[in-house]
Structure 1
Amino acid sequence: MTLFQIEVLVAVANRGNFTRAGEDIGLSQSGVSHTIGSLEKELGISLFVRNRNGVQLTAAGEEVVASARIILQQSSRIKQIASESVGLLHTTIRIGSFPSATEHLVLPLIRALNGLYPQLETRLFEGTYPEIKEWLRTGVVDVGFHILPEADLDGILLVKDPLKAVVAVNHPLAKEDSLTFEQLTTEPFIMPMAGCELLLYNEFGKRNLKPQIKYEVVDNATILAMTEAGIGVTVVPELTLPTNLPQVKVIELAPPVYRQIGLVVRSLEDCSPAVLAFLREAQRYLSTSN
């Protein structure tokens, strides 16, 4: 059985007539008849009942055609995937990202894609969440790493980044294996202001808690230095933590809270084949590497 035979079979089932099916697919009536006859001989069953008004599917033919339609759908999907991948061979993808995503997600992804698609070019624009949204809106970038959900953009989830409590090593809370938001409200709090503050305000709010915010700081290194000095406690995403920590203790939150990082575009429906292929490859690579 060939894909061509399946295409002819579905065309005849759709039209109920060999001649009209042939007109749809550019085949003569005799060519259609010969193709269906060969398929029936190969399968050992009758697919159609012939009459003067056309043809009707037999009971077995109905089941065969149902499966044939699925095969054609999958064949179309295979061609689409191939087309998208070919699009990655000779294109430039402009990526918006924020610092922790750049280090832990974007750079490993670009290295992996360069191995698969040597002629793929990537350009990286690093900024804040609002800047990434604006770059997408104005067409500066094609895709952006961003926190999900984002109401104004279409996105796919890539990574769940756990939030961690951070205290000085000599802080009374440092002996705890895990910390609750209730415990954190009893201490001076350093609020990270690079975008994570929205998630933290939401988590405190869900519990009807009001943190003692003493400082609002954007730079992660400054936040950790202030925490090390005992000025306050904080909560930051795990991906923002450096490999060599200062004199601080990183503690699990109870219950766990995650920053959901994804790739976003203005509209999945309007994406080019190359961008769709990039999204697919990014999701595949990052889901297997994390």
Structure 2
Amino acid sequence: MSEQPQGRIKIGCAHHAYLSWLGDITKEFQKVYSKIEIELIHDYSSNLLKSVENHEIDACIISKREGDHKWIPLYKDKLVAWVSENHKLAKKNSISIEQLKKEPFIATHVGEDTDYARIFKKYHIVPNTRLATKDVFVTYTMVEAGLGISVEHSLTAKV
């Protein structure tokens, strides 16, 4: 009988919504490979990709980035607008990207290479930013308080 593999794996994850998936996968993996230590790291997609390229982590779950990388699509998530229940736009089925120029906007991770920043750049959108935060849950709280609208991945918006 061969000895069980040992070692350490570092896995990065950029989105809170995927952490529960990673938890379930880790639990099943450790049933089979109990001697392998797993370190989970939460960071921005671009930072995690650099960590993979620099061999600092072994794999990551991130939004797709350009480059010659092996990608395994897990889920096609879309960006959605966050509005409070009492907001005038809450009853609409969709919000135009142009609307983000007008409404008070709550920005998350300002200055970082986020998916919504990429979309804004692609469509030359300069949002009417009134508040900024580095935490998506703080953004959600500010939106719910009626202080503005924001943009987030649909899975994160459901958390």
Superposition TM-score, scaled by structure 2 size? 0.77
Q: What is aligned with 1:17? A: none
Once the two structures are aligned, what percentage of the paired residues are identical?
A: 27
Q: Are 2:63 and 1:147 equivalent residues in the alignment?
A: yes
Contact 1:129–1:195, Cα closer than 8 Å, also in 2: no
Q: What is aligned with 1:273? A: none
* C-alpha deviation, 1:186, in angstroms: 2.2
Count of residue pairs brought into register by the alignment: 157
The worse-fitting range, judged by mean Cα deviation, of 227-236 and 144-153 is 144-153
Question: 2: CA distance between counterparts of 1:90 and 1:226?
Answer: 45
* C-alpha deviation, 1:102, in angstroms: 5.2
Q: CA 1:122–1:198 in 2, change beyond 3 Å: closer, same or farther?
A: closer
Partner of residue 201 from structure 1, selected from 117, 124, 147:
117
Question: 1: CA distance between counterparts of 2:63 and 2:15?
Answer: 13
Partner of residue 39 from structure 2, selected from 109, 115, 123:
123
Partner of residue 16 from structure 2, selected from 100, 110, 115:
100
* C-alpha deviation, 1:196, in angstroms: 7.6
Question: 2: CA distance between counterparts of 1:148 and 1:237?
Answer: 13
Question: 1: CA distance between counterparts of 2:145 and 2:106?
Answer: 12
Q: What is aligned with 1:220? A: 136
* C-alpha deviation, 1:219, in angstroms: 0.6
Q: Which amino acid in the other structure matches residue 204 of structure 1?
A: F
Q: Which amino acid in the other structure matches residue 221 of structure 1?
A: F
* C-alpha deviation, 1:130, in angstroms: 4.3
Q: What is aligned with 2:107? A: 191
* Structure with the larger RCO, 1 or 2 (CA within 8 Å, 6+ apart): 2
Higher Cα Rg: structure 1 or 2? 1
Q: What is aligned with 1:175? A: 91
Q: Which runs of 5+ in 1 are unaligned?
A: 1-85, 244-290
Superposition TM-score, scaled by structure 1 size? 0.46
Q: Which runs of 5+ in 2 are unaligned?
A: none
Q: Which amino acid in the other structure matches residue 215 of structure 1?
A: L
Q: Are 2:58 and 1:135 equivalent residues in the alignment?
A: no
Q: What is aligned with 1:274? A: none
Partner of residue 72 from structure 2, selected from 148, 156, 160:
156
* C-alpha deviation, 1:177, in angstroms: 1.9
Question: 1: CA distance between counterparts of 2:124 and 2:155?
Answer: 27
The 4+ residue runs of structure 1 with deviation greater than 6 A are: none
Q: Which amino acid in the other structure matches residue 162 of structure 1?
A: K
Contact 1:101–1:145, Cα closer than 8 Å, also in 2: no
Q: Secondary structure of 1:191's partner?
A: strand
* Higher-helix-fraction structure: 1
